[in-house]
Homo-oligomer: A and B are copies of this chain.
Amino acid sequence: MTTNPGNTAEPVKPIDIRADPDAGASEPVRIALLGCGTVGAEVVRLLDEQADDLAARIGAPLELAGIAVRRPDRDRGPLPVPRELFTADAAGLIKRDDVDIVVEVVGGLEPARGWLVQALQSGKSVVTANKALLAEDTATLAAAAADGNADLYYEAAVAGAIPLLRPLRESLHGDRITRITGIVNGTTNYILSKMDSTGAGFAEALDEATELGYAEADPTADVEGFDAAAKAAILASLGFHTRVTAADVYRVGITEVTAADVASAQEMGCVVKLLCIAELRRDADGSESVSARVHPAMIPRSHPLASVGDAYNAVFVEAQAAGRLMFYGAGAGGAPTASAVLGDVVAVARNRRLGRSAVADSAYANLRVRPMGEVATRYHISLDVADRAGVLAQVAALFAEHGVSIQTVRQEGRGGAAGTGGDALLVIVTHRAPDAALRSTVDALAELDIVRQVASVMRVEGE
């Protein structure tokens, strides 16, 4: 073995190639901050704390021109800014000549959309974490950015601090992304991880998440998958150069995931996760289409996403040349989200200083968005059936009729002895088939005399 004593001698004298030795002398780049909640306050704090580094990286200092909030007089604790910076007049702040960049951390569709369109059209760059707005209407924002020749950046909108959108927009531009599978909602991942590790049911795990601050008082946006669906739309749009909106995303939340589903998954060597999946499909005739969906699914424990626990997020990207990639990190929280916001602020501030603008979002591929019925998935189905001869044959025939191929089937007697007319549990995992065919199979199963109950249905992903 060779070892390199390397730097045990004198440290090597670093070469002085500063980003811009005159940084301090340059005109400041001025920011209007819209919103000062958890993320906004952290942005204010970091702007102050990292001021020197930020100035060196940009080549000019950053300055807060003003902070628009609903109640400017509210006590906000020890923020390192004078109270005069706070204003209730967001539109007036955006309009000011000395504002270069607008940072929006308010969220929601209106009035945020109007403010950002106003900013972009007047040539001010925008950094936003507003996933709901982007998922609803990136088209309007992109058009305003093009009008005003301004930058629109939104790294913080998906997967918090994880640098994900820039790699998708830029690093993988020489490749063809085929599939993006993400755990993009921390609340539901916390709940499902808890159900997996403790055997708790959904309600119990949600209670604990609420107590610990992982779930909001009204958890609907998280547990029903609305938050994840917005992110799915953004990821599908960027990954496939096609406008996909939240309305295009098939969505099922986790409220009906039971302790029994989680136990079933464990028996298969799987774990239940709320996945957002954006897929490219090329048909035999060469035509391409995309799909985007959010639903709970079983994935094998050996899959890199399976070990993403607690409130962490991760996004697994498959690309033709690059192969399998994964990006992992904190998906929410004030500081992580503020980190993503500030990364974007540095980028747009540099662009302004160098008199250039970023390449706009592209939707050149303009692919058809497939409805869920056409998307190929696999199902895990648990059936309570009468435990008598011929049941399996009858069930198998019904799958065949619907053109769905069975991969595995497991039968467990559980009422009286087998064959005595008691209950049995039939657990079936299918091969990939169009979702519409799988759904109609399940509907038909429910109608069979010998099926007492379709106990659970869950999609299986990750092979």
Q: Which residues of A contact B (CB under 8 A)?
A: 1-9, 11-12, 14-20, 42, 46, 50, 53-54, 56-57, 139, 142-143, 146, 155, 161-163, 166-167, 170-176, 224, 229, 241-243, 245, 247-253, 255-256, 291, 304, 307, 319-330, 333, 335-336, 338-347, 350, 354, 356, 359-373
Contacts and interface: CB of A to CB of B under 8 A. Distances in A.
B6 A249 contact: yes
Nearest to A325: B329
A14 B367 contact: yes
Contacts of A354: 356, 359
A328 B164 CA distance: 12
B14 A161 contact: no
A176 B338 CA distance: 12
10 contacts: A6-B247, A7-B249, A7-B291, A11-B371, A46-B175, A53-B176, A57-B362, A174-B339, A322-B336, A326-B327
A278 to B, nearest CB: 13
Contacts of A291: 7
Contacts of A11: 248, 368-371
A42 B321 contact: yes
A41 B342 CA distance: 39
A376 to B, nearest CB: 15
A352 B284 CA distance: 37
A324 B335 contact: no
A171 B163 contact: yes
Contact of A18 (B9, B248, B362, B370): B362
Given A143-B17, A342-B321, A343-B171, A365 B161 contact: no
Interface of A (DSSP majority class): mixed
Contacts of A359: 19, 350, 354
B363 A14 contact: yes
A339 B319 contact: yes
A81 B15 CA distance: 43
B14 A366 contact: yes
A346 B321 CA distance: 15
Residue among A42, A57, A325, A333 with max Cβ neighbours from chain B (10 Å) = A325
B224 A339 contact: no
Contacts of A368: 11, 14
Contacts of A20: 364
Nearest to A319: B339
Contacts of A7: 247-250, 291, 369-372
B172 A3 contact: no
Given A8-B371, A14-B242, A155-B171, 4 more contacts: A14-B368, A50-B174, A325-B328, A325-B330
B56 A365 contact: yes
Contacts of A243: 14-15, 17
A373 B8 contact: yes
A396 to B, nearest CB: 28
Contacts of A321: 42, 46, 161, 335-336, 338-339, 342
A79 to B, nearest CB: 16
Nearest to A242: B14
B161 A323 contact: yes
A15 B339 CA distance: 32
Contacts of A245: 12
B363 A18 contact: yes
A307 B11 CA distance: 35
Nearest to A317: B329
Given A14-B367, A46-B174, A176-B50, A161 B8 contact: no
A101 to B, nearest CB: 12
A5 B56 CA distance: 50
Given A17-B139, A369-B14, A174 B325 contact: no
